Chains A and B, each alone.
Chain A
């Protein structure tokens, strides 16, 4: 009786262990938990001397628990504890009106608009270049090596120049940032789309030729559909790069608004918690944007009748 009950409970535990959700999420949860624990310990260790100095300066007696409590709630800690970051994040997202300059929503919106505009420009440029390269051997030979070279150049170094140059012409605000984003993110799209446009095999191209299809028909009926999976794969890479471009473009240009400006201000005034909250906002934006591209991909795949 007891034996069979034990066996039953064991098999239940076994089935729980083999449950797909468990197999998938247990390792992730464990590691995230471990990271948070490490973060707390690191926060205590790194802020310890800071807090102790504070107590000793005021010459108040303190205990170990006082010290640890101090490390968890320091005003300008070297490493803020996770709950401080979350609090600051929630506070600056929901605590202010979305248009207030202290609201993270406002700064995120500024960065997001530059990101999206840059992403759009970059995607158009990338697809256009890929189309030209696929259709012209001259361009393939002469342009493609330069496109690859352009990515070995640390493009972000161009950010201050772009802003100075465009500012001199009279362009300010969103566009310089977007151009940097576009410059950064067109590359994966071009490479991905060249691959995608040349993905149909020679048999299929020959078939199109036997139907005497014009180049435009070949493009719309064969090359374009076969490039769609490549398009979304490269769009996912491009949108994160675009976000990075927008954030970095806000650094040297002295922009007053945006996540990058928030980072810079935080570093000038030693507001560590503000920096971490801005980083968290950037992470949320990045995952949201990738999720959006992912959703679009699924929608398009369903429209095109792909079976997954």
Chain B
């Protein structure tokens, strides 16, 4: 760490850090914090180390503002980066080896570790891209993508509505409910079920997104064709999973329903469907990802001039890679939020399932 003070930051002859008093202070603070952390050990060391990492990271990020260093950083700069990185790794290791007693702190810890890890990855990406001066056509820094994200919110909003609200959600609703209904009918008539299950398995293994050009031909360029692709892609996983779930209830329970004199509808709503819920939610979760992929791929075959897939392919053609990354971030956020909502709904409705009881 202290090595960085004497090593040149870039091609300059004068040791660069000494010329910048504020940064010098930050670096010294980081070094001091690391030293104390190494000496103190235990829980306190993690906190001090994290503070040191923050100081070092702030130093490097501020240094990158300098046009001399940006793109042509040298040994001294990388020493600070290395120190920050090592410190962060040590913090993560330290955190991961902690075993807190009570529930809330364990949950916080389980959230904090991956977040810290992700922050480190993003930091390294930023510093490496800017330090080495990687041309933004190949890989933009995350800050550039974030800036683009913030500056083109209206476009992103339009794309989101076009792809997600219209294409994904409608197709998802149609595909999933159709799969559910067909599965319920197939379960009623064993002959149908025996025929549909292997076929459903076969179809869900096929590259169904390939029907996208046909759907575009049938339903036009706008969202109905995307919804159709999504519906088709989500139908078969739902069918197969629901069929498996409907036969998940035990013999004893079915006999009990029969001894109550329950008719088929009552048995369905009181026994079969609740027992199938974990399977149905499994399909809903699988479909959440599949639906987004299906809609984006369908947009590669033709769209009105908006939509995530359209924007990605055109902006990639125009070499505006930061816009592409902003769209990917949008798709990622939408995908995760969608998945998270389904998972939350699952928690609320299948709280009785063994996997949620502790």
Contact = CB atoms under 8 A, between A and B. Distances in A.
Decide whether A and B are members of one complex. Answer: yes
Contacts of B293: 154-156
Nearest to A279: B210
Nearest to B201: A290
Nearest to B309: A157
A278 B289 CA distance: 25
A146 B117 contact: yes
Nearest to A169: B138
Interface size class of A (residues with CB under 8 A): 35 or more
B61 to A, nearest CB: 22
Nearest to B292: A154
A65 interface: no
B129 to A, nearest CB: 12
Contacts of A282: 206-207, 210
Contacts of B296: 154, 156-157
B205 A267 contact: no
A153 B192 contact: no
Interface size class of B (residues with CB under 8 A): 35 or more
B222 interface: no
A260 B77 CA distance: 46
A283 interface: yes
Contacts of B328: 153, 157-158, 161
The secondary structure that dominates the A interface is helix
Interface in A116-165: 137-138, 140-146, 149, 151-158, 160-161, 164-165
Interface string A25-48: 011111110000000000000000
B128 interface: no
A240 interface: yes
Contacts of B207: 240, 243-244, 247, 282-283, 286
Interface string B82-118: 0000000000110111000000000000100110111
Contact of B118 (A146, A266, A287): A146
Interface of B: 92-93, 95-97, 110, 113-114, 116-118, 137-139, 191-196, 198-199, 202, 205-207, 209-214, 216-218, 288-289, 292-293, 296-297, 300-302, 308-309, 312-313, 316, 319, 321, 324-325, 327-328, 331-332, 335-336, 338-339
